[in-house]
Amino acid sequence: MVQTNSIIFHFFLEIGNTYRNIAINMGITKTDIFSDNQNRLASLLKALAHPARIAILQRIMLSNTCICGNLVGELGLAQATISQHLKELRNAGLIQGSIEGASICYCINPKAWKLLHQQLNNFMGSYQELNNCC
Amino acid sequence: MVQTNSIIFHFFLEIGNTYRNIAINMGITKTDIFSDNQNRLASLLKALAHPARIAILQRIMLSNTCICGNLVGELGLAQATISQHLKELRNAGLIQGSIEGASICYCINPKAWKLLHQQLNNFMGSYQELNNCC
DNA sequence: GAATACTATCGTAATATTGCAATAAACCAA
DNA sequence: TTGGTTTATTGCAATATTACGATAGTATTC
Q: What is the pLDDT along chain A (134 residues), one digit of tens a residue?
A: 222 333 334 444 444 333 444 556 777 898 989 999 999 999 999 999 999 999 999 999 988 666 767 788 889 999 999 999 999 999 999 999 888 888 888 999 999 999 999 999 999 999 988 765 66
Contact B39 A51 (CB under 8 A): yes
- Distance in Å, alpha carbon of B5 to nearest chain A alpha carbon: 6
Whether residue A76 lies within 8 A of chain B, CB to CB, comes out as yes
Q: What confidence tier does B129 reach under pLDDT thresholds 50, 70, 90?
A: confident
CA–CA dist B46, B92 (Å, integer): 9
For strand D, which residues in window 105-134 of chain B come within 7 Å by CB? none
* Listed range (A16-25, A55-64, B55-64, B86-95) with the worst mean pLDDT: A16-25
The model carries a pTM of: 0.85
Instruction: Report the pLDDT value the prediction gives residue B19, as an integer from 0 to 100.
Output: 42
Nearest chain B residue to A35, by CA: B51
Whether A108 has its CB under 8 Å from any CB of chain B: the answer is yes
Q: Which residue is nearest to nucleotide D21 (CA to C1')?
A: A21
Mean pLDDT confidence for B95-106:
88
Measured CA A105 to C1' C26 distance, in angstroms: 15
Q: E-assigned strands of chain A? A: 10-15, 18-23, 67-68, 95-100, 103-108
d(Cα B62, Cα B54) in Å, to the nearest integer? Answer: 12
In angstroms, how far is D13 C1' from A35 CA? 36
Q: Which residues of A touch B5 (CB under 8 A)?
A: 76
List, in order, residues 6 or more apart from B93 with CB less than 8 Å away: B109, B112
Of the candidates B124, B50, B36, B34, the one whose C-alpha atom is nearest the C-alpha of residue B94 is: B50
pLDDT of residue A20: 44
